[in-house]
C-alpha cells in the first residue's frame, strides 16, 4: 500500500445540477428538458422525466446532512433560471426560488460544506428557445446576464465560487449537431453561432460579476470537459487529426475562456467551410477582457482519434467537425463495460500538464469524474448497502494520477465526483447510477454506498491509500 497526501484545504466533494436533482416542484417555467419530456416522454429511459429527480427541492436538508456524513467539504450544483426568475425580460424574482436557494446555501454552510454554483447546466428556459431561438439569439445573452446579476446580488455575500456554464460544448453538440438535446437541430453553422454566443454570455457574466459581487474572496470561472485527443499513431495524418480534434473539442471554449482569444487555425477553418459565426468587434473585446479566474474540468473517458477515411472536401453532406478527424477505438482498451466508456485515468495527468504548460498554470479542479453503472442493485449486500468496489477502484486510480500532476506542479485544488446522490441524467434518466449515495427513485429512500464510507476516510485525512497493484499498473 502506497499513501499519497493531498494539500490541506483540498476540495473533496461531488457535483450535481439543479435540473438533475431538484425536481420540478413549485416551478412556474419549463426548461428545455422539462418541455422535451412533456412533449416526447418516449425519448427518456423507462419514461422517467425530471419531475421528481432525486427530490432535492424537498429533502435538501437531509441530503446535505448525508453529504457531510461522507466527508464532503464542498458541493457544486446549479441555480435553475426557470426556478429563480419570474419574468425573463425583466429578471424579476420568484420569492420561493430565492427562499429555496438561500436555504440550500445556508444549510451547506451550517454543515461545513462549501457551496459552489454554476449558472447554467444545459437548462435553458423553453420559452426563450421558442420565442427567440435560444442560444442563437443575442437577446438571450442579454437575458442570461440579467439572470446572472440577480444571482450575484442575492447570493455572493455567502457564495464565493461561481461558474458561468457547465460543458457549453455539450449544449452545442447536443442541441445543434448530434440530436441528443433539445432543440435537436442538425446545422453546423447554427452550432458554431451558438458556441460563440455562449462564450460571449460567459464573458459578459464575468464582467457583471466583477461589478456585482459582494465578496472580496469571490471568483468566477467556467466548467469545461477537457480531454487530450490521443492520436491513433505517430503518422502525420493521425497527428493532424488530433490537432483538429483539439481545436473543436477543447480549444473552442478553453482558449477564449482562459486566454481571451480564439486559435487562428480554428477561425480559418470556420471561414473556409462557411460556418463562421456572426460577431462584432465589441463582442471579441468583451471576451478578451473577461477571462476566467479558475477552471473546472470534467473528465470521464479518453478521446481517441484517427485520420478520417473520407476527404474533408466531400460533397452533399452536413457540416460536422468530424470531417477533419474520426473517433478511434483502440484495440485492447480497458472499459467500463456497463457504461460503454473507456477507462484511462492517465488522462488526468495529461490534462494537468496541458493547463500548466499552455494556460499559465491556471488554478483548476476536477469538477466531474465518475463511473456510471446500471442495475447497481446487483451489488447490494444483506444490509442494503451497495458494495461498489469498482467505483472505489475507479476513483482511486484517477486520484492517483491527479496527485501525480499536482506533485509535478499543476495548480489543482480539488476533486469532485459526479455525483453525491444518484440523480436524473437527461435522456438516460436513471439508467446509470453515479453517486456515493444510492437513491430509490420509487421511495426516495437514500442509502450511503460503500464508496461513500471510503470517500469519508480519504477526505477527512487528505490521504489516499493506493493498493500496490494499482501503482504497478501505472509503472510504465
**Residues catalogued as catalytic:** 167, 368
Distances (CA, A) of 279 to 138, 193, 286: 10, 9, 11
CA distance linking residue 219 with residue 210, whole number of Å: 9
- What angle do the packed helices 450-461 and 389-407 form, to 10 degrees? 20
267: helix, coil or strand? Answer: helix
CB atoms within 10 A of CB 162: 25
Angle formed at CA 165 by CA 348 and CA 30, multiple of 5 degrees: 130
Distance of CA 67 to the CA centre of its chain: 19
How many helices (DSSP H) and strands (DSSP E) are in the chain? 17, 19
Residues linked to residue 93 through DSSP beta bridges, in sequence order: 85
Query: Cell numbers of 436, please?
Result: 456515493
Bond from prior residue into 246 cis (ω within 30 degrees of 0): no
What separation in angstroms does the CA of 7 have from each of 26, 64, 138? 41, 24, 43
> Crossing angle for the helix pair 56-69 and 95-110, nearest 10 degrees?
10
From CA 29, how far away is CA 76, in angstroms rounded?
A: 23
Amino acid at each position: 500500500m502506497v499513501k499519497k497526501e493531498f494539500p490541506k484545504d483540498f476540495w473533496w466533494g461531488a457535483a450535481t445540477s439543479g435540473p438533475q436533482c431538484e425536481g420540478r416542484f413549485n416551478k412556474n417555467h419549463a426548461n428545455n428538458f422539462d418541455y422535451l419530456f412533456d412533449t416526447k416522454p418516449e425519448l427518456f429511459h423507462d419514461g422517467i422525466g425530471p419531475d421528481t429527480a432525486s427530490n432535492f427541492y424537498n429533502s435538501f436538508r437531509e441530503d446535505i446532512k448525508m453529504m457531510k456524513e461522507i466527508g464532503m467539504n464542498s458541493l457544486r450544483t446549479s441555480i435553475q433560471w426557470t426556478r429563480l426568475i419570474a419574468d425573463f425580460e425583466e429578471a424579476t424574482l420568484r420569492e420561493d426560488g430565492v427562499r429555496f436557494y438561500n436555504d440550500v446555501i445556508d444549510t451547506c454552510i451550517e454543515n461545513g460544506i462549501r457551496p459552489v454554483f454554476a449558472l447554467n447546466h444545459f437548462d435553458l428556459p423553453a420559452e426563450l428557445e421558442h420565442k427567440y431561438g435560444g442560444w442563437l439569439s443575442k437577446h438571450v445573452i442579454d437575458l442570461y446576464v440579467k439572470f446572472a446579476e440577480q444571482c450575484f446580488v442575492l447570493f455572493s455575500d455567502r457564495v464565493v465560487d461561481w461558474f458561468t456554464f457547465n460543458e457549453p460544448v455539450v449544449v452545442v453538440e447536443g442541441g445543434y449537431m448530434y440530436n441528443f438535446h433539445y432543440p435537436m437541430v442538425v446545422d453546423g453553422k447554427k452550432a458554431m453561432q451558438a458556441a460563440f454566443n455562449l462564450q460571449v454570455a460567459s464573458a459578459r457574466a464575468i464582467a457583471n460579476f466583477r461589478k456585482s459581487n459582494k465578496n472580496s474572496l469571490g471568483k468566477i470561472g467556467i466548467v469545461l470537459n477537457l480531454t487530450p485527443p490521443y492520436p491513433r499513431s505517430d503518422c502525420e495524418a493521425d497527428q493532424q487529426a488530433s490537432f483538429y480534434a483539439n481545436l473543436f473539442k477543447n480549444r473552442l471554449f478553453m482558449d477564449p475562456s482562459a486566454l481571451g482569444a480564439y486559435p487562428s487555425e480554428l477561425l480559418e477553418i470556420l471561414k473556409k467551410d462557411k460556418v463562421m459565426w456572426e460577431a462584432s468587434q465589441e463582442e471579441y473585446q468583451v471576451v478578451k477582457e473577461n477571462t476566467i479566474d479558475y477552471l473546472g474540468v470534467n473528465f470521464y473517458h479518453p478521446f481517441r482519434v484517427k485520420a478520417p477515411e473520407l476527404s474533408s472536401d466531400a460533397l452533399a453532406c452536413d457540416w460536422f467537425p468530424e470531417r477533419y478527424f474520426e473517433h478511434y477505438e483502440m484495440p485492447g482498451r480497458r472499459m467500463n463495460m456497463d457504461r460503454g466508456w473507456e477507462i484511462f485515468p492517465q488522462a488526468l495527468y495529461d490534462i494537468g500538464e496541458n493547463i500548466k504548460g499552455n494556460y499559465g498554470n491556471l488554478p483548476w479542479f476536477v469538477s466531474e469524474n465518475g463511473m456510471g453503472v446500471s442495475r447497481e442493485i446487483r451489488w447490494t449486500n444483506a444490509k442494503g448497502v451497495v458494495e461498489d468496489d469498482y467505483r472505489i477502484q475507479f476513483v482511486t486510480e484517477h486520484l492517483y494520477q491527479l496527485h501525480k500532476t499536482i506533485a509535478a506542479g499543476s495548480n489543482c485544488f480539488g476533486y469532485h465526483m459526479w455525483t453525491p446522490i444518484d440523480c436524473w441524467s437527461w435522456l438516460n434518466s436513471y439508467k446509470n447510477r453515479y453517486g456515493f449515495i444510492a437513491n430509490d427513485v420509487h421511495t426516495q429512500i437514500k442509502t450511503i454506498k460503500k464508496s461513500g464510507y471510503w470517500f469519508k476516510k480519504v477526505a477527512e485525512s487528505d490521504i489516499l491509500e493506493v493498493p500496490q497493484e494499482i501503482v504497478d499498473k501505472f509503472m510504465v
